[in-house]
Amino acid sequence: MSETYYEFGTAGERWDRAQLFFGAKEYGTAVRILRGLVAEHPDQTAQRLLLARAYYHSAQLSRAETELRAILERDPVEHYARLMLGRTLERLGRPEEAAPHLRMAAAMAGETVS
């Protein structure tokens, strides 16, 4: 499939398109669009977070982990990225590494941490 369609339009149009594909559970297509957007605007948390979610839902867990760690490096209190990193690490079979991230995400959400 040609990349031309995915590269067409403004960043805002591509962002809208990526959200539509993500919403339709077309995670691979969303990834194709979002990779370009993240490359152009690496400091935009929303785009990188949606890319991480698309990777997660398409079972590209190592790539999801990489994106989530990049978000948390810039913004350590990004609650949803912290939660997703914990869940990603669990799916990768690394529950000990996941536990502190999940506890921190729960604390940030005001949940009781045990």
Q: Note the pLDDT of residue 1.
A: 47
Q: Do 56 and 84 contact (CB within 8 A), yes or no?
A: yes
pLDDT at 112 over 70: no
Average pLDDT over residues 79-105: 96
Token representation of residue 42: 């690496």
Amino acid letter for position 41? H
With cut-offs at 50, 70 and 90, classify the pLDDT of residue 3: low
Token representation of residue 3: 């990349």
Angle of helix 61-74 versus helix 79-91 axis, rounded to 10: 150
**5: three-class secondary structure by DSSP:** helix
Q: Note the pLDDT of residue 109.
A: 84
Q: Where are the beta strands (DSSP E) in the chain?
A: none
Token representation of residue 32: 């194709």
Which pLDDT tens digit goes with each residue over 22-58? 999 999 999 999 999 999 999 999 999 999 999 999 9
